Amino acid sequence: MDTDTPTPTSSQEQTITRVFVSSLCKKIAKDLQLPKEVVYEVYRAIPLHMVAALKQKKAVVFENLGVFSPHIMNFTLRGEPPQDTYKIRFKASRKLKATMFELAINEDRQKISKKLK
39-85 pLDDT, tens digit per residue, is 999 999 999 999 999 999 999 999 989 999 998 887 777 777 878 88
Same domain, 72 and 116: yes
- Which among 32, 58, 84 is the end of a domain? 58
- Which among 23, 41, 58 is the end of a domain? 58
Higher pLDDT, 68 or 107: 68
How many structural domains are present in the chain?
2
Same domain, 54 and 79: no
pTM for the full predicted model: 0.68
Same domain, 3 and 53: yes
Same domain, 54 and 104: no
* Parent domain of 26: 1-58
Write out the DSSP string of the chain.
Answer: --S-EEEE-SSSS-EEEE--HHHHHHHHHHHHT--HHHHHHHHHHHHHHHHHHHHTT--EEETTTEEEEEEEEEE--TTS--EEEEEEEEEE-HHHHHHHHHHHHHHHHHHHHHHH-
Q: What value does the mean pLDDT take over residues 90-94?
A: 94
